[in-house]
Amino acid sequence: MIQVFFNALAVGLGIGTLGLGFLLVYRPTGVFHVSAGAIYAAMPFLLLELGTRGAPLWLSLLICVAFGIGISCAIEFFNHRRLGIGLSQTSAHLLSSLGIYIVLTQLVVIVWGPNVRSLRVGQDHSFRLGLLVATRAQILEITIQAVLLLAFAALLKFTNIGLKLRALMQNPSEMALLGYSTQGFRLLAFAISGVFVAVVSLVNAYDLGFDPHGGLPAIILAIAAVIVGGRDSFLGPVAGGLLLGLLRSLAVWFSPKWQDCFTFVLLAACLVFLPNGILGYSRRVKAP
């Protein structure tokens, strides 16, 4: 049983971090950053490509993260900013984000082929820790993601930039009135979300392998984490992610084949019954 929890931790932190990246863009800008899924899909291919061209690992990783940031910012700069700041016409933002996802994903397929690939060769090392069996990939996943989240939390709490981000999440229009450039902060939000997507994508790819179409399921899970965990705090997506991770690893326990199906049925149920999430403050129910 504890194995289930451990697996859940590895998976859940990833979903939670992705969810946080999604929320970072959604709260201040209102944009549903579905195209992040394309970045998620492309990252491991890029790493592999750089690796086969002989770049040292540390450099490849840096380049990948830089690309993650770059593509994310480009999406904001060329697409969402053009569509207008302000929450009217949300479907134009969503439609274009979906379009970008499709274009980038298809490019990945055309350049690198549609097959499932892996970042490592053969069976992974596993360690025995008491009752647990942990693969190296899982330990890497948990450590890196936890470090990233903790670093982000520290950024939020102790730095000026963190203060501004927290303020931006709650009241972006008031931030503009205080003299902070809305455009600049939107870019920052997209950039940080790019970092999260890149990191999670790479560690997940190391653990489970990757394919060009893995982006959308990942981003749907991330959005689910935000919805389930609550959109009103930074902790919400992480909590939601852990819960979803638990559900997924339970599902794997029962039947690996139906894991996806089970997850998405649960997601739909959560959307219907928990619209504010478990950590969200209850909004007075408007007569629907």
Residues 6+ apart with CB under 8 A from 1: none
Quick check: 101 binds other proteins (CB under 8 A)?
A: yes
DSSP assignments along 113-158, one per residue:
-SS-B-SS-SSPPEEEETTEEEEHHHHHHHHHHHHHHHHHHHHHHH
Among 56, 84, 125, 253, binds other proteins (CB under 8 A): 84
Nearer to other proteins, 59 or 103 (CB): 103
> Of 102 and 191, which has the nearer Cβ to other proteins?
102
Q: Which stretch binds other proteins (CB under 8 A): 137-145, 146-154, 202-210, 254-262?
A: 254-262
Interaction between residue 217 and other proteins (CB under 8 A): yes
DSSP H stretches of helix in 30-89: 36-52, 57-74
By CB under 8 A, the residues from 38 to 77 that bind other proteins are none
Name the residue among 84, 23, 14 with its Cα closest to residue 43.
14
Closest to other proteins by CB, 3 vs 106, is: 106
Does residue number 195 form part of the binding site for other proteins (CB under 8 A)? Answer: no
- Which of 159, 171, 168, 152 lies closest to 237, judged by CA? 152
Query: In the complex with other proteins, which residue's Cβ is closer, 32 or 67?
Result: 32
Residue of the chain from 1, 121, 131, 177 that contacts other proteins (CB under 8 A): 177
- Applying CB under 8 A, does 199 fall inside the site for other proteins? no
Q: Which of 52, 53, 82, 123 binds other proteins (CB under 8 A)?
A: 82
Position 143 contacts other proteins (CB under 8 A): no
278 binds other proteins (CB under 8 A): no
User: How many residues of this chain interact with other proteins, rule: CB under 8 A?
Assistant: 66
- Choose one: 11-19, 122-130, 167-175, 196-204; the region binding other proteins (CB under 8 A): 167-175
CA–CA–CA angle 120, 121, 127 (5° rounding): 75
Which residue among 52, 91, 115, 123 contacts other proteins (CB under 8 A)? Answer: 91
Instruction: Give the span between the Cα atoms of 170 and 285, in whole angstroms.
Output: 20
Given its phi and psi angles, is residue 246 left (phi above 0), alpha (psi -120 to 50 degrees) or beta? alpha
Burial label for 83, CB within 10 Å (0-12, 13-18, 19+), is: middle
- DSSP states of 176-225 as a string? HHTT--HHHHHHHHHHHHHHHHHHHHHHHHHHH-B-GGGHHHHHHHHHHH
Using rule CB under 8 A, residue 167 touches other proteins = yes
- Determine if 279 is a binding residue for other proteins (CB under 8 A): no
Question: Are 206 and 250 contacting, i.e. CB atoms less than 8 angstroms apart?
Answer: no
Binding site for other proteins (CB under 8 A): 32, 79, 82-84, 89-96, 98-103, 106-107, 109-110, 114, 160, 163-164, 166-167, 170-171, 173-183, 216-217, 220, 223-224, 227, 233, 257-258, 260-261, 264-265, 267-268, 271-272, 275, 282, 284-288
